[in-house]
Amino acid sequence: MNKSLLASLIAVAALAACNKPADTAAPAAADAASSAASSATVAASAADTSASSAMSAASSAADAASSAATGAMAAASSAAAAASK
């Protein structure tokens, strides 16, 4: 009977010891997850801003290239007209 009582006390103590770290680990894990989610949101926002800036720069470059091509075509047309006279 004493062995059974001792085994029961050990089992209860083991269960109590196992439950305490889990109770303190859960809030820490939740805080870590919240912090990671916040960091991911900030990173996504920065990536979105960078992508928007890159699109704006690409659009400006395309506009400049188009203007340059139009100017080159006008110059070539003028040169061809002058050469044919």
Divide the 85 residues of the chain into consecutive groups of 10 and give the mean pLDDT of each group. Answer: 70 64 58 74 78 84 85 82 74
Model pLDDT, residue 29: 65
pLDDT at residue 59, as a whole number = 86
Helices (H), the chain: 2-84
Q: Give the predicted TM-score (pTM) of the model.
A: 0.43
